[in-house]
Structures are given as C-alpha cells and as structure tokens.
Amino acid sequence: MASNQKYYHITVKSTTENLAVIRDFVKDAAADCGCDNSTIDKIILAVDEASTNIIKYAYNYRSDKDIEVKVKFDKKNFAVEIFDNGNSFNPANYKEPDLEKYVKEKRVGGLGIFLIKKSCDEVKYEILKNKTNKVTLIKKIK
C-alpha cells in the first residue's frame, strides 16, 4: 500500500441503531484523511441514506444481516463502498423526483437516492457474482 493511500473497514448488523456506528466510522475515517467539514457532511449524508436504504429495502428491516463498509482514500478521492446480500436495486427504475410537487404534496421520505447523487461526485451500483450488492460513493478531494 502506498503511503498516500488509506483503507478502513467495518462490518455491522443491519439495525437502525448501527446507522450511528456507520456514520461515526466514516466520519472518523474522513477526518483522519484530512477531509474538510463540508466534504465530511456530504459523505455522511450519502452513507447514511445508502445504509438506511439497505436496512429498509434490501433487508426489509431484518436485523440479522450484515452491512460491510470499506473506505478507500488516495489523496484525490474519498470512496465508500457499502456491501449487502439483500434484495437488489435496479438504478434504471429510479426517476428523479419533482421537488416542487414533492413539497406541494407535503411528502415525507423518498429522497434518499436523490440526496446520495447530489452529495457525491460519483455513485456506482453493482451486483457482484456472489449476488452481493455493492454501492460505491465517491467524493473528489480538492
């Protein structure tokens, strides 16, 4: 591993209580890598939304499943990879929300993917050969 690269890893059970554990883990990793507060806030928002979606939709609130989080930092990019073995998500089915309509209708929730995309410079979703879902959230470091 080159000296300008850092790696971090954690695995937790898929409970809503562990959302704070995941947030703190990623926040500490980002701070250790020298990310500024604005960048950290955006990363945490995206990670929290992605992890919440895994708990709600991939695992249907089953608390006996694992969420694995890996952080990779290389001076240019801060990348968070989140893995689960739950129901998969098809990004092709995602439609950008109409925010005016959303506010008019006083809707609650449903903006997670929108917030993830707005908070990150790049978002990738993959289904790996072993049927593991992997979402990668990348924030460019300036």
Q: What is the pLDDT of residues 52-63, one digit of tens each?
A: 999 999 999 999
Please indicate, yes or no, if residue 1 is contained in any of the structural domains: no
Only one residue has tokens 């990004």, namely 91
Mean pLDDT rounded to a whole number for the chain: 88
Please indicate, yes or no, if residue 33 is contained in any of the structural domains: yes
Please indicate, yes or no, if residue 72 is contained in any of the structural domains: yes
Give the pLDDT of residue 103. 60
Residue 86 scores a pLDDT above 80:
yes
Please indicate, yes or no, if residue 15 is contained in any of the structural domains: yes
Residue 94 structural domain: 6-140
pTM of the shown model: 0.88
User: What's the chain look like in SS3?
Assistant: CCCCCEEEEEEEECCCCHHHHHHHHHHHHHHHCCCCHHHHHHHHHHHHHHHHHHHHHHCCCCCCCEEEEEEEECCCEEEEEEEECCCCCCHHHCCCCCHHHHHHCCCCCCCHHHHHHHHCCEEEEEECCCCCEEEEEEEECC
Please indicate, yes or no, if residue 134 is contained in any of the structural domains: yes
Residue 1 scores a pLDDT above 50:
no
Taking only the tens place, the pLDDT of each residue in 2-19 is 468 999 999 999 999 999
The Cα diameter of the chain in Å comes to 51
With contact defined as beta carbons under 8 Å apart, do 48 and 87 qualify?
no
CATH classification at residue 55: 3.30.565.10
Residue 92 scores a pLDDT above 80:
no
Share of the chain above pLDDT 70, in %: 82
* Structural domain count, the chain: 1
Taking only the tens place, the pLDDT of each residue in 36-78 is 999 999 999 999 999 999 999 999 999 999 999 999 999 899 9
Please indicate, yes or no, if residue 71 is contained in any of the structural domains: yes
